[in-house]
Structure 1
Amino acid sequence: MHILVTNDDGPPCKQSSPYVLPFVRTLEAAGHTVSVILPSTQRSWIGKAHLVGQDVSAHYYWPDKHHDAAPQSDSPPEDSHPWVLVNSTPASCSQLGLNHVFKSRPKVDLVVSGPNYGRNTTAVFALSSGTLGAALEAAVSGYRAIALSFAFFDRENKPEAVSASCRQSLRVIEWLAENGQWDAGRLFTVNVPLKEEVETQKVVWTKVLQNAWTGSSCFEETPGVVEDPQTEEAELRKQESKEGGVEKGSSEDDRDGDLWKPHHFKWAPKFKDVFQSVQDAGPGSDGWAVKEGQTSITALRANFEHINGFSGEVKL
């Protein structure tokens, strides 16, 4: 197959995008033709957004062998096809990859968005996921699409576990390509536990758990501007790996009676809410399957679901 790979974590980087390079190499080793187009920087939690009014630029990129972003090169290595980096969103990467930057290559058979650095289980993650956003964009463009996420339980990223998850992902992707029901607008979201024994565990059909943020905000007030987003992201990932995370106290200050001075907030979702909702709901959901070490496959349709029972004129 010719597989278009994109993601929302950006180019290979130990800090925020450790899986895309080994995953692409796994696809290539299995004989697939792979075209890769990625955001040039981290674009998590951005959903299916496009940056309206901003010109988008794309440049060629050859990843090095150390999982760290390599500088742009004018002289490609022999027998290699460059990746493409784009200063835009995952959904824009899907559009550009399908319609513009790989015209010299065969028609794309399948779009795979990921592997995401972290799970995309339950509604509160999935509805904001840039990984799902890129797959949704491909689906509404008439292409078969899979959103792929690696659910880590620590941040060690052991090579053996990463390799096992890549092989498991390859098996699932090839099976879905052959056996999936690919009617209009259909896509699949796959969550693979990042564990060495993942290939011996079950692969199960699941539903997205319809949960919500309960009793907490996704933001936390800070005394000033967040100067180091990468450090903040690393702290969030530490919480996500702890199956519930660490609850932080509010950083609200008393403002010394000044009600009108500027406020500063940082993105600080309480992952404990999400993990508790999975525990409370019990078996059957994507979140539960991953918690149990199983690979989760969920079939979705790229649309807004209508609620029955509302029709006719509304008399005010």
Structure 2
Amino acid sequence: MHILVVNDDGPPNKRLSPYVRPLVDELQSAGHLVSVAIPAASRSWIGKAHLIEASLTAHSVHPDSFRDDGTWDESYKSTAENEWVVIENGTPASCAQLGLYNLFTDRPPVDLVISGPNHGRNASTIYNLSSGTVGGALEAVFCGKRGIAISFGSKDPQPADIIEAAARLAVRTVEHLWRNWDERVELYNVNVPMRIDVETQPVLYTRTLPYYWSRGCLYAEAGAEAKSKIVNGVTNGVNGVNGVNGAEVKHCNGTHVNGVNGVNGVNGHAEQPKRKERHFKWSADLSDMKKRLQESEEGTDAHTVLNGSTSVTALRANFWHVPDLEGPLDLNQ
């Protein structure tokens, strides 16, 4: 079988992408022809996105030339047939597109696209719809190919024997799904728990756990922490300013101004002009989600992988309409 491997964690990297090389090695050991097209940087939480205003640069890289930080030695000598392709400004979806149509035209047609293994599990609706790993498999479907998204369910550092066991089980699962592909299925989402006995644990069909955000928890305002430490205006003694309640006392035509740098205020609280810019940074607090995953029902992807089994979720690559909502709308009702 000719398998195209894409991912969202980027080049092999001890911190961000420790799983892709072991899976590729295991696929090749099982006798498959493997072509690899991956982003040059992590593209997590990007779904099936394409960066339409960014030009893409494809680098041919021997897998043995990667360093622990994901960079590579450009002077490494190799032959074209064993090189991976690393794509600047690439996303999992664009890697799938280029891998299928542009990069490996001298090889037989691709039979299957594997996206992953993700560094951490992808279980529940929010993860599935946000995941770049699942996005790479979705793109394969829209290119007329079968896709399997694979996630190795831990972001914690793992010993080599556990990673190798997960890779062996993932390959066996891929081969079984390929041989027994249900024609109703367009892609499978597979989550493999990271444990040394994973190959002896069940592999189960599951359904996706529904999850919705209960609060805004993905972004934090930049500088908010520093601002919260300022009490009654300006912190006493900062920049050599000393005054009442931490604010410098100014005199203007005999009038005392309790403010900052002559700005009127009360007890050191300056009247702040309305800000035209506010800055936010990624600051995911997933504690509520993790609690919901821990409480998930038996038969869901989250419950299955958290309890030590491998989950296999069969999916269709569409937002299907709600049945029986048809015909004209009466806007007077």
TM-score, length basis structure 1:
0.85
Q: Secondary structure at the match of 1:18?
A: coil
Match of 1:309 in 2: 324
The alignment covers a number of residue pairs equal to 289
1:235 aligned residue: none
- 1:273 equivalent in structure 2: 288
Q: Which residue of 2 aligns with 1:5?
A: 5
2:93 aligned partner: 91
- Distance, in Å, in 2 between the alignment partners of 1:82 and 1:181 is 33
Counterpart pick for 1:262 among 257, 274, 277: 277
Following the alignment from structure 2 to structure 1, what is the Cα–Cα distance between the partners of residues 168 and 99? 24
Q: Where in structure 2 are the equivalents of 1:207-286 lying within 5 Å?
A: 207-223=207-223, 253=228, 257-260=272-275, 262-286=277-301
Give 1:213 deviation, angstroms. 1.2
Alignment of 1:5-154 (within 5 A): 5-64=5-64, 68=68, 69-71=70-72, 73=74, 76-77=77-78, 80-87=81-88, 88-152=90-154
Distance in 2 (CA, whole Å) between partners of 1:121 and 1:197 is 21
Is 2:166 the counterpart of 1:165?
Answer: yes
8 A contact 1:59–1:86 mirrored in 2: yes
Quote how far apart the aligned CAs of 1:268 are.
2.1
Change (3 A) 1:117 1:208: same
Per-residue deviation, 1:212: 1.0
Pairs within 5 Å for 1:173-184: 173-183=174-184
Q: Which residue in 2 is equivalent to 1:232?
A: none
Whether the aligned pair in 1 keeps the contact of 2:62 and 2:76 (CA below 8 Å) is: no
Shift of 1:204: 0.5
Distance in 2 (alpha carbons) for counterparts of 1:128 and 1:275: 16
Is the partner of 1:163 in helix, strand or coil?
A: helix
CA 7–179 in structure 1, closer or farther in 2 if over 3 Å, else same: same
The whole-number CA distance in structure 1 between the counterparts of 2:313 and 2:115 is 15
Larger Rg: 1 or 2?
2
Displacement of 1:315 after TM fit? Answer: 3.2
Look up the equivalent residue of 1:189 and give its one-letter code.
N
Amino acid at match of 1:165: A
Cα drift, residue 38 of structure 1: 0.2
Residue 188 of structure 2 aligns to a residue whose secondary structure is strand
* TM-score between both structures, scaled by the size of structure 2: 0.81
SS of 2:287 mapped into structure 1: helix
- Deviation for aligned residue 1:265: 1.7
Offset from partner CA, 1:2-24 (integer Å, 9 cap, x none): 11000000000111111101110
After superposition, what is the alpha-carbon deviation per residue over 1:76-108, rounded to whole angstroms, capped at 9, x for unaligned?
425852100112211000000001100001111
Aligned AA (1:3) = I
- Aligned mates of 2:104, 2:183 — CA distance in 1: 23
Listed as ranges, the gaps of 5+ residues in structure 1 are 225-249
Give the match for residue 289 of structure 1: 304
Contact kept, 8 Å, 2:62 with 2:83, in 1: the verdict is yes
Q: CA deviation at 1:41?
A: 0.7
Distance verdict in 2 for CA 1:258–1:193, change over 3 Å: farther
- Identity %, equivalent residues: 43
Query: Are 1:299 and 2:307 an aligned pair?
Result: no
Shift of 1:198: 0.7
Runs of 4+ in 1 over 3 A off after TM superposition: 72-76, 250-259
For the structure 1 residues 117 and 251, does the alpha-carbon distance in structure 2 shift closer, same or farther, using more than 3 Å as the test? farther
Instruction: Give the root-mean-square deviation of aligned CA atoms.
Output: 2.2
Deviation string 1:150-178 (CA, Å, 9 cap, x unpaired) is 001x6121111101100110110010010
Counterpart-to-counterpart distance in 2, 1:115 and 1:150: 6
Unaligned runs of 5+ in 2: 234-269
The answer on whether the counterparts of 2:65 and 2:76 sit within 8 Å (CA) in structure 1 is: no
Letter in 1 for 2:328: E
Could you tell me how far 1:281 is from its partner in structure 2? 3.5
C-alpha displacement at 1:111, in angstroms? 0.5
Residues 77/122 of structure 1: CA separation in 2 closer, same or farther (3 Å cut): same
Verify the 8 A CA contact 1:278 1:287 in the aligned structure 2: yes
Amino acid paired to 2:278: H
